[in-house]
Amino acid sequence: MQFANWNPDKGFEVMQDFLQKYDAIDGVWAGDDDAALGAMEAIKQANRPKPIVVLGGSGMNV
């Protein structure tokens, strides 16, 4: 578990770190949709062969 401060950039940073540390990640729960977007971008850029499910909560700042 890592705090991403409800921020897409921080979500991206945290997810990049997790992707480097852990070979097997099946899913991600983000407490905020904005942070989930950052995590999704990190996953996309990592080109993992197995899909990773991402679930965000509490909506987005618009």
H/E element holding 26?
none
Query: What does the pLDDT read at residue 39?
Result: 96
- Start-end of H helices in 1-62: 8-21, 33-46
Q: What distance in Å separates the CA atoms of residue 20 and residue 57, rounded to the nearest whole number?
A: 24
Residue 12, C-beta contacts closer than 8 angstroms, at least 6 positions apart: 38, 39, 41, 42
What pLDDT does residue 62 have? 58
| pLDDT in the model for residue 22 | 95
- Domains held by the chain: number: 1
Domain for residue 1, yes or no?
no
Write the pLDDT tens digit of every residue in 2-61: 888 889 999 999 999 999 999 999 999 998 889 999 999 999 999 999 999 999 887 766
CA distance 46 to 3: 21
- pLDDT for residue 36: 93
Residue 13 forms part of a structural domain? yes
Structural domain harbouring 50:
8-56
Domain annotation covers residue 62: no
Whether residue 61 is contained in a domain is answered as no
Q: Is residue 16 part of a domain?
A: yes
pTM assigned to the model: 0.88
